[in-house]
Amino acid sequence: MTRPARIQLQRRAGWRMPPNTVKVDRATRLGNPFVIVNDTPDERAASVRRFAICMTQPATWQRHACLAIARGGRAGEGYFLDIKTRLPDLRGRNLACWCRLCAAHQAGKPFGVSCTACAPCHADVLGELANGLRCEALATSAAA
């Protein structure tokens, strides 16, 4: 069995999602609810860190942090609890989002692999948590 990876969605003619892949972009219930204010690498990384913190912190802190994301009709606490119940279904699956992957990872970036050339993505957080790996987004936020 191949290692599960993050896949970049594409609009190229003839492109299809690989087998065993789940779409986790903003159009799905698994999308990152945090709004990216400026589409800069720093703001994108901050959005992924906020997502990772809400996914892994105790429920009391999570409630306060996630109430701020009730934009777009999503209730923060319920959203994260819903995702946590779906993590077992994501184990061993590829996760697809629109976030850019570098040239070296065009075929997919395996979860748990750190690459500064790839755009940060909440799919990495979901994949790492679902597969029992160390969450790289949290390690990055602790170092900052």
Q: How far apart are CA 134 and CA 90, in angstroms?
A: 16
Q: How far apart are CA 122 and CA 47, in angstroms?
A: 8
Percent of the chain with pLDDT over 90: 53
Q: What is the pLDDT of residue 85?
A: 92
Q: What is the pLDDT of residue 141?
A: 52
In the predicted model, what is the mean pLDDT of residues 124-144?
Answer: 80
Q: What is the pLDDT of residue 60?
A: 74
Q: E strands, 17-140, where?
A: 21-23, 94-97, 109-110
pLDDT band at 16 (very low <50, low <70, confident <90, very high): very high
Q: Per-residue pLDDT tens for 59-114?
A: 776 777 676 665 555 666 778 888 889 999 999 999 999 999 999 999 999 999 99
Q: Residue written as tokens 């996760």?
A: 95
Could you tell me which of 52, 45, 55, 97 has the C-alpha nearest to residue 79?
55
pTM above 0.85, yes or no: yes
Contact 79, 92 (CB under 8 A): no
pLDDT band at 131 (very low <50, low <70, confident <90, very high): very high
Q: What is the pLDDT of residue 1?
A: 46
pLDDT at 39 over 60: yes
pLDDT at 11 over 70: yes
